[in-house]
Amino acid sequence: MKLKGAEIICESLLKEGIDVIFGHPGGAILPFYDALWSYPQLKHILVRHEQSAAHAADGYARMTGKPGVCVATSGPGATNLVTGIMNARADSIPMVCITGQVARPVLGSEAFQECDICSIAAACSKRTYMVMSTDDLASTIHEAFRTAVSGRPGPVLVDVPRDVQLELAEFSYPETPGCVIEPEVLSEETLINVKRAAELINQSERPVIIGGHGVVMSRAFDEVKDLAETTGIPVINTLLGLSGFPRTHELSLGMLGMHGMYWNNMIIEQSDLIIGLGMRFDDRVTGKASTFAPHARIIHLDIEGSQIGRNVPVEVPLQGDAKSILQSLVPLVKNVSRPAWMAYINETRDRHPSLAIPSSENLQAQEVLVEINRLIQENPETVVVTGVGQHQMWAAQFLEFNNSNTFVSSGGLGTMGFELPAAMGAQLGRPGAPVWSIAGDGGFQMTLQELATVAQEKMPLKIALFNNGILGMIRQWQELFFEQHLKETPIPGPTMSN
């Protein structure tokens, strides 16, 4: 069957199980949009800025587990995707970005809206593809989806010249979609290391589990819970790992690191074994890496081998999918009574409470979050998407997520303006759940044009906007480290509530 290149893109997306895409039309991608006319199965969400298309695809991917798909034209349309691509790369989100390109005969001539987006995006994606023949289009898209989900997930970009979209070619597609990954079979070396890890866990006196985003991405919520309950070991979470373990569980200690609970940093200091699951031991977790957990041996599980031992020395490396490895580990561990360690943990929490709300006649952000948390407890399926700044960290401290994969944030790149478009994607990815976008007024003004998209699509999003007229996190750093020179952190603006 011969199809135009644009139709081949649509057919390929359907073969990959894609039903929602985010984008904005333009000249070089118009053949694809013309083809969309004949593909009502592909729901297209018209964003008001291409950066939002990438963030929305990101939010959609986090909720569904499928690669998010975003579309943009050449030149500025493609470059506007770059921040969202890098955000997905930093947080390991599978995404396929399809960009239009000028026609092949004028490539390299500085044609209108010509841009070498493949070179630009190469540094912030897993791979980029330039499709120079319509015959290669379907196989390239299949490979792009496979690349996006293989190993450590991430974004991939496929650049398609305008004339490639218009030419005819025979269409065939592999029977197995690229985004379908076979269950992982653990290697003999990994199984040996799983046994070593179990021995360390059973022998430890002051162990702690740190659950990261890899737990959420691998859907290993139940496996981490089994590990904690089987061993009696308490669980600390990273920012992006917060919905990887039930927060109201008796073994949950909340977040650690720069903006985490003080007691957790003290507990890490005294631990003799750290079981790091799907996390990178990055600087916001460890502080100065050379002084992190000075008494602890470290078991490090991560899907990407290059991350293991990269920032801290590791006793037992476990490379692979968190869910698969934990299913092999849990039967080997024992419940060991550690009364002295648990007493120390409880005493430390009591001595260093971290959730005090400032006394004030004015409404405090923390009080708002306490009320939102009440709503979350009434409906644990609620999804929260935050921006970046003080409101993000207050949300991480005060909100209690008891269901898997219900907290979304920009953790690795720290992208202001992420919250609204990512919440759009989350709402479409999980239409039956209440979705909150929690925003500061600084980040909100970066992507607030997407309110038009929310209205157009009649999305039932809920938005909590912390509007204090200040770039709060930046001001906090100015107060602490720059002699209170509050330069360019007040942001007077319109009355947001109207």
Judge whether residue 498 has pLDDT over 60.
no
Question: Given pLDDT bands bounded at 50, 70 and 90, which one contains residue 223?
Answer: very high
Residue appearing with tokens 């502080």: 287
Average pLDDT in the chain? 95
pLDDT, mean of residues 189-218: 97
pLDDT of residue 488: 87
State yes or no: pLDDT of 165 exceeds 60: yes
User: How large a percentage of the chain has pLDDT more than 90?
Assistant: 89
pLDDT at 472 over 90: no
Distance between CA 404 and CA 378 in Å, rounded? Answer: 16
Summarised one tens digit per residue, pLDDT across range 298-327 is: 999 999 999 999 999 999 999 999 999 999
Confidence of residue 378 (pLDDT cuts 50, 70, 90): very high
Residue 360 has pLDDT above 90, yes or no: no
Kindly give the residue spans of alpha helices, DSSP state H, lying in 65-149.
Answer: 76-79, 82-90, 117-122, 137-149
Instruction: Give 274's strand partners.
Output: 208, 298
| Residues linked to residue 46 through DSSP beta bridges, in sequence order | 23
**At residue 493, does pLDDT exceed 80?**
no
Task: Specify the fold of 188-351.
Answer: Rossmann fold (3.40.50)
Question: How much is the pLDDT for 458?
Answer: 98
Q: Do domains 2-170 and 365-481 have the same CATH topology?
A: yes
| pTM: predicted TM-score of the whole model, two decimal places | 0.95
State percent of the chain over pLDDT 70. Answer: 99
Distance CA 489, CA 473 (A): 9
Question: What integer is the mean pLDDT of 223-241?
Answer: 98
Cα dihedral across residues 37, 42, 46, 50: positive or negative: negative
C-alpha 350/C-alpha 130 separation (Å) is 58
pLDDT at 497: 62
Residue 440: predicted pLDDT? 94
Return the closest-CA partner of residue 461 out of 429, 437, 430.
Answer: 437
Q: Rounded to an integer, what distance in angstroms lies between the CA atom of residue 315 and that of residue 273?
A: 10
Is the confidence at residue 79, as pLDDT, over 80? yes
User: What pLDDT band is residue 25 in, cutting at 50, 70 and 90?
Assistant: very high
Which residue in the block uniquely carries the two structure tokens 């499709």? 131
Instruction: For residues 467 and 444, give the distance between their C-alpha atoms in angstroms, rounded to a whole number.
Output: 9
Query: What pLDDT was estimated at residue 183?
Result: 81
Q: What is the mean pLDDT of residues 416-440?
A: 98
For 356-425, the DSSP string reads PPPP-SSPPHHHHHHHHHHHHHH-TT-EEEE-SSHHHHHHHHH----STT-EE---SS--TT-HHHHHHH
Confidence of residue 414 (pLDDT cuts 50, 70, 90): very high
Fold assignment, 2-170: Rossmann fold (3.40.50)
Of the pLDDT bands very low, low, confident and very high (cuts 50, 70, 90), residue 142 is very high
Q: Does 174 have pLDDT greater than 70?
A: yes
What's the pLDDT band for 356 if we cut at 50, 70, 90?
confident
CATH superfamily of 365-481: Thiamin diphosphate (ThDP)-binding fold, Pyr/PP domains (3.40.50.970)
The region of weakest confidence among 111-120, 153-162, 353-362 is 353-362
Sequence ranges of the domains in the chain? 2-170, 188-351, 365-481
